Amino acid sequence: MKYAFLPHPIPSLPIAGSDQRFPVRRIFCVGRNYAEHAREMGASDQAAGLEPPFFFMKPGDALVSGSGELSIAYPPITKNLHHEVEMVVALGAGGVNVAAEAAHKLIFGYAVGLDLTRRDIQGKAKEKGHPWDMGKGFDQSAVAGEIRPAALAGHPGQGRIWLSVNGELRQDGDLSDMMWKVADIIANLSTSVRLEAGDLIYTGTPAGVGPIVPGDRLEAGVDGVGTLRARIV
């Protein structure tokens, strides 16, 4: 096969305790998976508890990854860039119509991630019934730290998920507050698309999202998964 120009390199994540990297395919994200955050976004209590999960996507190459302090460029066309700390599920196998009881078998590992959001652009899209892509799927919008393999550390179902900006705690939730658990998310998503090895799923953010500006230092963590440091430049 001859390409007309050099193909883009495959985005990838470091794997804790390994010199191998996790090759990333697609990035799926769950909207409103913690009731407190759904409420702060103005969703009704009913929508915050009873509706099935909904998904949006970011391009695979929107990924910013690494093991040390990550540098993230403040993106264009926004005056309101928000942090959303999330647990990221990394799939090592695929499937379609996966039963929730079998979903954990697909999981390679977990990482701490940031679903960076141009909140003003997303807000305008919501108002007009337009797609969220330009609010959610811009360059460097998907941040993730090292993957902690499930084979070593198991499957975290509870534990703190938190984020601080310049040392001030902004988000502080618990994985057990997810409305849709990881197994249910995988089962539901696999009815819509064939999941594949390399897919990442951002599992939603707890309450406390807010703006970040150039110069800010972010620190985030998920108990049993790891921590992440990033700087907005």
Helix (H) or strand (E) holding 171: strand 168-174
Q: Which residue lies nearer to Mn ion by CB, 130 or 194?
A: 130
Q: Which residue lies nearer to Mn ion by CB, 95 or 170?
A: 170
How many C-beta atoms surround the C-beta of residue 186 within 10 A?
Answer: 27
Instruction: Give the binding range for Mn ion (CB under 5 A) out of 63-71, 110-118, 127-135, 155-163.
Output: 110-118
Residues 6+ apart with CB under 8 A from 60: 10, 11, 24, 25, 26, 27
Q: Which residue lies nearer to Mn ion by CB, 22 or 132?
A: 132
Which 85-104 residues touch Mn ion, going by CB under 5 A? none
Interaction of residue 118 with Mn ion, rule CB under 5 A: no
- Provide the token pair at 11: 């985005």
Interaction of residue 146 with Mn ion, rule CB under 5 A: no
Q: Which residue lies nearer to Mn ion by CB, 15 or 209?
A: 209
Give the whole-angstrom CA distance, residue 197 versus residue 95. 9
Q: What is the SS3 assignment for 66-105?
A: CCCEEEECCCCCCCCEEECEEEEEEECCCECCCCHHHHHH
Instruction: Give the binding range for Mn ion (CB under 5 A) out of 39-47, 112-120, 163-171, 173-181.
Output: 112-120
Interaction of residue 219 with Mn ion, rule CB under 5 A: no
Parallel/antiparallel/unpaired status of strands 12-14 and 21-23: antiparallel
Please state the closest distance from residue 101 (CB atom) to Mn ion, in A: 26
Please state the closest distance from residue 96 (CB atom) to Mn ion, in A: 25
- For the chain, how many residues are written? 233
Interaction of residue 171 with Mn ion, rule CB under 5 A: no
Q: Select from 41, 60, 115, 148 the one that contacts Mn ion (CB under 5 A).
A: 115
Angle at 145 between CA 82 and CA 179, to 5 degrees: 60
Q: Which residue lies nearer to Mn ion by CB, 108 or 202?
A: 202
Interaction of residue 84 with Mn ion, rule CB under 5 A: yes
Give the whole-angstrom CA distance, residue 205 versus residue 84. 6
Interaction of residue 205 with Mn ion, rule CB under 5 A: yes
- Provide the token pair at 37: 């955050």
Please state the closest distance from residue 115 (CB atom) to Mn ion, in A: 4
Size of interface with Mn ion, in residues (CB under 5 A): 3
- Write the CA distances from 195 to 33, 61, 64, integer angstroms: 20, 18, 22
Interaction of residue 122 with Mn ion, rule CB under 5 A: no
Please state the closest distance from residue 173 (CB atom) to Mn ion, in A: 12
- Residues in touch with Mn ion (CB under 5 A): 84, 115, 205
